[in-house]
Amino acid sequence: MLNEKMEAAINGQINAEIYSSYLYMSMATWFDAQSLPGMAHWMRVQAQEEWTHAIKFYNFVNERGGRVILSAIEGPETEWDNPLAVFQAVAEHEAKVTGLINGLMDLALELKDHASSSFLQWFVDEQVEEESSAADVVGQMKLAQDNPSALLMLDKELAARVFNMPVWLTI
């Protein structure tokens, strides 16, 4: 059985993951409007990933006998100054999500909830990859920002990102 405090905290995280998906879709629309379809595609893949994270938390709450309670999702930002600013916002957002995941892990450890701790370890590891990926693109974007040809090459490279549907995903 899932502890009530843990259940409430994970419900908050489900909301945060859905917001993340919404934010990345907003970024995708901005890139589409800037005629950067590869970067828009990268963001849509990121949005799908975040949605699967929400579903993973959703399934865990249900498996542990808890109840998922969804709440309102705040509207995301819709405007950025340039492509670099968008990816810097991604890096900042992923650092914030890492803090949320670490807070959940801290709570699981405090409650001696070994099942939640084990479950959350996947997200701890995932956030290392998420932050690294965002930092890599920010670094590349800094190199390309004043060179339209380099920006277009980076756009083409980011278009190659593929979303792999997790085998565990059930909606």
* Mean pLDDT value across residues 114-134: 96
Q: How many CA atoms lie within 13 A of 54 on its CB side?
A: 21
Residue 145: pLDDT band (50, 70, 90) is confident
The rounded percent of the chain whose pLDDT value lies above 90 is 92
Q: What is the pLDDT of residue 92?
A: 98
Q: What is the pLDDT of residue 10?
A: 98
pLDDT at 165 over 80: no
Give residue limits of the domains in the chain: 4-158
Question: pTM for this structure?
Answer: 0.93
pLDDT at 23 over 90: yes
Chain Cα centroid distance, residue 44: 11
Distances in Å between the Cα of 112 and the Cα atoms of 11, 65, 94, 115 are 19, 17, 27, 9
Looking at per-residue pLDDT, the higher value among 5 and 170 belongs to 5
Superfamily for domain range 4-158: Ferritin, core subunit, four-helix bundle (1.20.1260.10)
